[in-house]
Amino acid sequence: MKGILSSIGVVLLTFSFANAQSKQPNIIWLVSEDQSPEFFPMYGDDTVSLPHLSQLAEDSVIYDNMHATTPVCSPARSAIITGMYPTTLGTHNMRTYNEGRDRNQPQLGIPSYSPKFPDYIRPFTAYMREAGYYCTNSNKQDYNFKISDDAWDQTCRYCAGEQKANIHWRNRAEGQPFFAVFNFQITHESQIWAQHNNKRYVTPEEVNNIPPYFPDDPIIREDMAINYSNLVRMDKEIGAIINELKAQGLYDNSYIFFYSDHGGPFPRHKRAIYDSGVKVPLMIKLPKNAKAGKRNDDLWSFVDLAPTVLQLANIPLPDYLQGMSILDKDTKPRKYLVTASDRFDGQVDRIRSIKTKRYKLIKNYNVSLPHALDVNYRKKMPMMRRLIALNDKGLLNKNAQRWFDTPKPEMEFYDLKKDPFELNNLADKASYNTKLRQFNSLLEAWISDTGDLGNVPEQEIIEYSIN
């Protein structure tokens, strides 16, 4: 298909250099699946004790405005590994590439395919390996396109037990710098029902953080209690890694990142363009705990992770990167940030949002669909089934009902300072018309400048990718 990736442009691979460092540091990523900041003590929640993460937070800089590029896993990870927006790459639809499968969404006639983009766009870890780093990715390799063989020294699509434990920095050559990613699946959406019959570390009655878009219902409390219990399990896993780093004398002089791949595991979190779906926790521990206890409220995106790590490793930054280094003192804060959602499993619903620290515009392209998309996988969760049942009986309150309403508004505009849960749509208020137009103009400019492929039929992208 002629020009489908004209959005990327013809880019010459030139480089800009970070300030030289005499030694390449070790860098560790601790990645929680499916979690929002609101569930963690360092962001104000006191429902459950997470001693290892809390100690790491005391040693770290805490970021209050980190965002996934999209509120679901594989498209978001494509941004992380490339430093580019999924909407530019063609990786914006959920599970385009499903390793080991010929078909992805049979009900839509969509095969498993890897979107085609120029060869010079590479996983940032390939540059790290060329610079001498030992790079490991311990469960899971799910980046929405076929990862090249030069991305990792050790990785796996999904693995457990001895295979998972063996993906580790310990396998590097003596003195070799390393970049190690550990993904914690215990907090994944699926674990809400998978852990249903297992030990609870908090009772439903002890849950004190029921957001206003959920009814205060026993089943809602039950599932939230399971999530908090899963966080305790994750905290223990993180503690084991941190203790190993300390035992090997690696903790003090390493960079340690903790973040989540998108918002929480619940309805109106995961797959939702609201901040509950795209805002994620981020903590960065610097060597010798420099700047420990400080907080940062600048707007950050997943496209910023790749340039941050490359700069820390003293590796040239490719010009095609669409993000910027979080830790570069010369980085100028964003004035606004864009997130996107498109296809989730068999449901297609193109939505774009643009936000500043104060205001947020959501633009819905398919108003006939509710925000509560009919995703079969999510119906395994008791909370989701309960919300559907209450909605069918007309028993949801106004805040909860809005998620199911059709048609949904073409425009949603929120004052995040006054309305952090994004419940009071100001788009129809005449006093906000000027701001609404400004935000929409900025969004349309971003769509044009980044070559957003959201309006290209996926079948067209597939044909281009496989031919």
Q: Which residue numbers are catalytic?
A: 73
Q: Which residue has the tokens 């643009």?
A: 354
Interatomic CA distance for residues 450 and 333, integer angstroms: 19
Answer positive or negative: Cα dihedral of 97, 103, 105, 108. Answer: positive
Answer positive or negative: Cα dihedral of 257, 263, 265, 271. Answer: negative
The residues, any chain, with a CB within 8 Å of residue 31's CB and separated by 6 or more, are: 181, 182, 183, 184, 258, 259, 260, 261
Interatomic CA distance for residues 101 and 159, integer angstroms: 17
Three-state DSSP at 237 gives helix
Q: What letter does residue 421 receive in the DSSP assignment?
A: T
The residues, any chain, with a CB within 8 Å of residue 430's CB and separated by 6 or more, are: none
Nearest CA to 300 out of 269, 272, 339 is that of: 339
Alpha helices by DSSP H, 137-186: 161-165
Q: Which residue has the tokens 């979080």?
A: 326
Alpha carbon separation from 433 to 274, 282, 329, 335, 356 (Å, rounded) = 21, 34, 36, 20, 16
Partners of 351 in the β-ladder: 341, 364
Determine which helix (DSSP H) or strand (DSSP E) holds 29, and give its type and residue range: strand 27-32
Q: Which residue has the tokens 């078909």?
A: 103
Three-state DSSP at 317 gives strand
Q: What letter does residue 231 receive in the DSSP assignment?
A: H
Burial 159-187 (b: 16+ CB within 10 A, else e): beeeebeebbbeebeeeebbbbbbbbbbb
Interatomic CA distance for residues 327 and 267, integer angstroms: 33
Interatomic CA distance for residues 287 and 42, integer angstroms: 20
The DSSP annotation for 72-132 comes to SHHHHHHHHHHSS-HHHHT--STTS--TT-SEEEGGGTEEP------TT---HHHHHHHTT
